[in-house]
Amino acid sequence: MPGVKRRPRPELPVDLERLRTQFPSLTDDDLEAYAAVTRRVLADPGTRARRMAEVMERARQASAKAAAGASLGHEEALLVRYRQAMAKMQATTVKRG
């Protein structure tokens, strides 16, 4: 729209190609979900912590809904994909024992 200023997209904390190299199990779908959700969370520095907590809770709820066999809307599916991407990254960095 003419005259409407768009806010610049927030930069991601880690380049997607670096993530792809560091975590080879990440798919294009995982990276897309990571980028979309992370940019939303980072868009407002004043609410990042609260937004991240909300995102992870909604992702947990959507995952439970999918596990129960219910269909997911687009936003819920995105959050489930984000949660799966984060789990893949954490699984390879967390040392147990």
What local confidence, expressed as pLDDT, does residue 11 receive?
Answer: 87
Q: Are 85 and 26 in contact (CB under 8 A)?
A: yes
What local confidence, expressed as pLDDT, does residue 95 receive?
Answer: 59
The mean pLDDT values, 10 residues at a time, for the chain of 97 residues are 58 93 95 96 93 97 97 98 96 64
pTM above 0.85, yes or no: no
Q: Find all residues with CB under 8 Å of 44, minimum gap 6, and list them.
A: 51
Sort residue 69 into left (φ over 0), alpha (ψ -120 to 50) or beta.
left
